[in-house]
Structure 1
Amino acid sequence: MKSKKCLYLLTLLILSLYATAMGGRHGGLDDEGGWQPIKNITDPYIKVLGEVSVQYYNNWTSSHLSFVKVLNGDTSGHYYGDFQYRLVLEAKDSGLTKKYQAIVLERRYEYYRNLTSFTPL
């Protein structure tokens, strides 16, 4: 009986240590440590995210911005495959090139993207 209790307690200890370690690795999104710079800003996938951001913004606001390029950005991974991208991009508005910040939420397992913010800089 004593050995069963010890085995049970040891199992609980191991599971709680594992849960603590995984929680630290997959913490929430925050500006203090959750965002990491995008290393290859010229990656075609990042360009697509920038283009999609401008298209979504145009659809929401009936604007006529045209995408130019992504200047820089950060990404933050969520648990369960959610990612957020914070992109600084250039877009033309009536011939003038302006800078904008777009935040895109992506759930790759659902093929889902949502533009959560698009603001001029």
Structure 2
Amino acid sequence: MNSRAIFLLLLSFHASAMLPAGRWSPISNVNDPHVVEVGKFAVSEYDMESKSELKFVAVVSGESKVVAGTNYRLIVAVNDGVAGPGASKNYEAIVWEKQWLKSMNLTSFKPVV
């Protein structure tokens, strides 16, 4: 490999490293069936991991960003069965989805304070 080719290769790596990371963008329709599916997945996955019995109520708000897939940061309303019927609490869930692999991973789930 000649020095010009090496220079161009290094320049392309440097340029790609300087690209801004994906930014969070608001989700305009939190009732979109796919967004609701992601919210339900987050609650279900958290339930399996924590052995809790949260019940998904709705996606309250959300943002997404593209990062080798899509990250979703959703505020989901859940019923924990303790606060009584109809009462819900909000949680922030972050889900990383790779649609081409039909794969979702829950990366964070915490109460909104």
Q: TM-score, normalised by structure 2?
A: 0.78
Number of the residue aligned with 2:107: 116
Deviations 1:48-107 (A, max 9, x none): 0011110000000110000000010000102xx411000001000014310000000011
Q: Distance in 1 between matches of 2:76 and 2:24?
A: 17
Q: Call closer, same or farther: CA 1:46–1:36 in 2, change over 3 Å.
A: same
Count the aligned residue pairs. 105
- The 5 Å alignment of 1:63-78 reads 63-78=52-67
Match status 1:52 vs 2:45: no
Query: Per the alignment, in what secondary structure is the counterpart of residue 71 of structure 2?
Result: strand
Number of the residue aligned with 1:92: 79
Gaps of 5+ in 1: 1-7
Number of the residue aligned with 1:83: 70
**1:22 shift after superposition:** 9.6
Question: Which of 32, 35, 38 pairs up with 1:43?
Answer: 32
Q: Distance in 2 between matches of 1:86 and 1:62?
A: 22
Q: Distance in 1 between matches of 2:38 and 2:48?
A: 15
Number of the residue aligned with 1:107: 98
Q: TM-score, normalised by structure 1?
A: 0.73
Give the number of the structure whose residues are more often helix, by fraction.
1
Pair member with larger Rg: 1
- The 5 Å alignment of 1:1-40 reads 12=8, 20=15, 24=19, 27-29=20-22, 34-40=23-29
* 2:34 alignment partner AA: Y
Alignment RMSD (CA, Å): 2.6
Q: Report the identity percentage.
A: 32
Gaps of 5+ in 2: none
**1:38 shift after superposition:** 0.6
User: Would you identify which runs of 4 or more consecutive aligned residues in structure 1 move more than 6 Å?
Assistant: none
